[in-house]
Chain A
Amino acid sequence: MVKLFGQRVPLPALIGLLIIVANLLAAAFAPWIAPFPEADVVGDAWAEADATYWLGLDNLGRDIFSRLLYGARMSIGLSLLITVLSFTIGVIGGFTAAIGKGWIDAALSRFVDLILAMPTLIFAFVVLSVMGTDLAVLVVTLACLDSVKVFRLARALAVNIGALEYVEVARVRGEGLWWVITREILPNALAPLIAEFGLRFTFAFLFVAALSFLGLGVQPPAADWGSMVRDYRDVIALDSPAPFYPAGAIALLTIGVNFVVDWLLALHARGYGEGA
């Protein structure tokens, strides 16, 4: 039985953790692990897998395995960046709305409703068409779009927790807003926020992949899993396994993250488990 921080870790969560760690390692050490540089043409296009090219070569004759490793770096890094940014914006906004109440809450909530009323993919599509597909633009756009969803969760959590008496105690003591948010509310909202973080992270992943399909994703020659799937899709008809490597990588990481999230959610839910 494996334990982590004094908690017993169920098998799926363990698998999930292993997947995540493996991916993070791959992303961190891609330049050292990868047998070839990510953009170098090392042979014929669509060469089959062999001892040197473990997964074969891609549409330009670049090593698929190496690109997969570099892709981990780009995809994970990008999604992480998007998610971290969207959480920063969303949580600060949500907490401010919940605690500020009154017109701040009303204004922020209505604005968020408005953004939520816009189809995300279309919105991103138009914005990126206008602003260009610079990585920074991509990250900021997606993070902003994502942050409205985080805002809703954060606000709901803060409203619930804010109604609890220990928060009232702090307010009655005369504590400032910053203390109330960082010391009383945030630590208690962390578990659901982390779970949400996992989910949003995987959505960011798929979202970047969908944008890549429309030609607005990551710029070449950088590799990211989403655009790799797109670049390799034509050879599905040829029974080539190439598109399944990046697609599999996306699926694996998504599943890994979800396993861990499920476990975190279960941990969090335990407190409410006892009935009547």
Chain B
Amino acid sequence: MTERTKGDLVLDVSQLRIEVRTDAGPGPVLVDDVSFTLRRGEVLGLIGESGAGKSTIGLAVLGYTRANCFITGGSLRFHGRDIRTMSAAERRALRGPGVAYIAQSAAASFNPAHTILQQVCEIPIQQGLLSPAAARSRAIGLFRELDLPNPEQFGDRYPHQVSGGQLQRAMAAMAMAARPDILIFDEPTTALDVTTQVEVLASFRKLIREHGTSAIYITHDLAVVAQIADEIMVLRQGRMVEHGTADAILHHPQQDYTRRLVAERFEAHGHHAQDSGALLELRHVVASYASLLRVVNDVSLRIQRGDTLAVVGESGSGKSSLARVIMGLLPREAGDIRFRDEMLASRLKDRTREQLRRVQMIYQSPDVALNPNQTLLQIIGRPVQFYFRRSRAEVRARVLELLAMMDLPADYIDRKPGALSGGQKQRVGIARALAAEPDLIICDEVTSALDQLVGEEILKLLKRLQEELGIAYLFITHDLGTVKRIANKVAVMLKGEMVDGGETEAVFAPPYHPYTQLLLSSVPEMRSDWLDGVLAGRAG
């Protein structure tokens, strides 16, 4: 290993090109003509929409490509040696002590069969760098540095026994165990909720700074990368769009695409509905899963025609459960739900077809919400046929109309979901909900599986539909930025209870409810000193 002085050139990637090749022949080019350098202690932010090739580049630095992907051009020099020409054994030796990887989902990336300590110590022991005892004490040191509870015993737990945020930090410890020159962070905080994200982000930054490690930080959230990166590279469809210092990209973006990315963050649009009587009203609703803890506890709320009610709260606070109670999928134990002045039955099967029709739902993950074996005609046409008993031709005409409304080409009507992009799938989900001509649509995190720009498009579409058709939304999210922009009412949930609620302006204006304030302060802002500010504020 070379001597650690700041400023040495550690990694030099030039004109990298990665392609897919299968037995059937060459596939798409995933990464094309990407070049950058990384010096000791420097952090490069890689940013871009989903599928831009960020992970592919990050993995390539480890000398790793996924099945059927091949590096077909350019070079990756690690301390002057080209990773491409290394032997398999050299490449293995590179991973861990040279370059280490921190994946998006720690829960999925930790082996459930071994303890955390075993997995953290594996690299130094297997690479022959440390004795088991030394590896253990180093791991405990790292746990301490990362503010993990009980550092001495923490490692004896299995991955399923610790929380998501802790696990994400444990993965950082695993990556650091062999003191690598480069750390690759692949969206390490995306799976965490906002409040946890702040803490994890702070730990990472501390780690990098204290050890003087270089890092590539992959994300699609500009605000996050602003807190940690020295330089930022913007990618789109495998190609570099813009590359510069963090400040330059954030404050003086040159390219149109970058500018739009930056601009989305600052945009805000409010909206007011006229009072036109309650459409949906919940009174003291209580529900729980199989006599376990109450996931919805004494919730009351009211939605009017044309309203958008946002339900916010951290993960597991019972937002989705509330939606399920309204839909009748999770029978309530107590309380009333009134819809258009009728009492809604507790169970799905006791509701009339008309009641079912008037409340529709759109799901978080479009991949599992659409039957992969049906065409769009079947998916969207079925509610039309089911609720309105139209003829075949009428159904088809209606589906085409809906596709047009969703800005989807008419010839997609015979495609199956597999042939659509994520955003397109989500539009199909919306079209299916609209086909029932509902009064209320429940949207459960409809944008969180999509990347930022596409998500934004979906929000705009929903908004437009609301203006045209006067539909009310119950909008579940954990992204407060979105809430501010689209909702006129907010309900804040914590552990199944509604802790705060009312008009958006009122909720998001002082005096805050303490929990609302915590949520609000955790939303990253596009200032590179934001994180310092938050941490200072909390310490104080």
Question: Do A and B share a direct contact in the complex (Cβ within 8 angstroms)?
Answer: yes
| A274 proximal to B (CB < 8 A) | yes
Which one, A24-32, A123-131, A160-168, A238-246, is touching chain B? A160-168
Does A172 make an interface contact (CB < 8 A)? yes
Q: Name A165's contact: one of B186, B328, B368 (CB within 8 Å).
A: B368
Is B329 positioned at the interface, with any CB of A under 8 Å from its CB? yes
Q: Which residues of B contact A273 (CB under 8 A)?
A: 67
A173 and B386 contacting across the interface, CB-CB below 8 Å: yes
CA distance A273 to B67 in the complex (A): 9
The reply to whether B327 and A165 form a contact with Cβ atoms under 8 Å apart is no
B382/A173 in contact, CB under 8 A = yes
A184 within 8 Å of B by Cβ?
yes
Let me know if B348 and A166 touch, CB within 8 A.
no
- CB–CB A166/B23 < 8 A: no
* Residue from B23, B372, B382 within 8 A of A8 (CB atoms): B23
Set of chain B residues within 8 Å of A8, measured between Cβ atoms: 23-24
Measured CB to CB, the nearest residue on chain A to B372 is A188
- Give the shortest distance, in Å, between A12 (CB) and chain B (any CB): 13
- Indicate if A276 sits at the interface (CB-CB under 8 A): yes
Task: Give bound CA distance, A276 to B327, whole Å.
Answer: 33
Q: Which of B66, B329, B369 contacts A275 (CB 8 A)?
A: B66
On chain A, the residues within 8 Å of B373 by CB distance are 187-188
Tell me the complex Cα distance, A172–B440, Å: 14
Does A102 have its Cβ within 8 Å of any Cβ on chain B? no
Please judge, given known A-B contacts A8-B24, A169-B432, whether A175 and B368 are in contact too, CB under 8 Å. no
Within 8 A of B (CB), among A245-276: 273-276
Stretch of B85-93, B100-108, B234-242, B462-470 that contacts chain A: B100-108
Q: Contact check: which of A172, A275, A276 meets B348 at CB < 8 Å?
A: A172
B104 and A276 contact, CB distance less than 8 A: yes
Separation of A270 and B436 alpha carbons in the complex (Å): 34
Of the listed residues B327, B351, B371, B383, the one surrounded by the most CB atoms of chain A closer than 10 A to its CB is B371
For window 310-350 of B, CB contacts with A under 8 Å fall at: 327-329, 348
A175 close to B386 (CB less than 8 A)? yes
- B371–A166 contact, CB under 8 A? yes
Complex Cα distance, B371 from A168, in Å, reads 11
A-B contact count (CB 8 A): 58
A174 at the interface (CB under 8 A from B): yes
The residues of A that contact B67 with a CB separation of less than 8 Å are: 273-274
**A133-173 contact mask (Cβ, 8 Å, vs B): 1 or 0:** 00000000000000000000000000000001110110111
Contact with B along A97-128 (1 / 0, CB 8 A): 00000000000000000000000000000000
- Digitize A185-218: 1 where CB-to-B-CB distance is under 8 Å, 0 elsewhere: 0011000000000000000000000000000000
B369 lies within 8 A of A276 (CB)? no
Select from chain B the residue with minimum beta-carbon distance to A276.
B103
Roughly how many angstroms separate A188 CA and B373 CA in the complex, as a whole number? 7
Known: A172-B327, A175-B386. A276 touches B108 (CB 8 A): yes
Shortest Cβ distance from residue B418 to the other chain A in the assembled complex, whole angstroms: 9
Nearest Cβ distance between residue B369 and chain A, in whole angstroms?
Answer: 4
Question: Is the CB of B60 closer than 8 A to any CB of chain A?
Answer: no
- A165-B363, A174-B353, A183-B371 provided; 6 other pairs, C-beta below 8 A? A8-B23, A173-B356, A173-B436, A174-B348, A276-B103, A276-B108
Cβ contacts A to B, 30 pairs, < 8 Å: A8-B23, A10-B23, A165-B368, A166-B369, A166-B370, A166-B371, A168-B329, A169-B361, A169-B363, A169-B369, A169-B432, A171-B329, A171-B348, A172-B327, A172-B348, A173-B386, A174-B348, A174-B351, A174-B356, A174-B386, A183-B371, A184-B371, A187-B371, A187-B373, A188-B373, A273-B67, A276-B55, A276-B103, A276-B105, A276-B108
On B, residues with C-beta under 8 Å from A are 23-24, 55, 66-67, 103-105, 108-109, 186, 327-329, 348, 351, 353, 356, 361, 363, 365, 368-374, 382-383, 386-387, 432, 436
Question: Considering the complex of A and B, which 4 residue pairs feature the smallest CB-CB distances, nearest first?
Answer: A187-B373, A165-B369, A166-B371, A174-B356
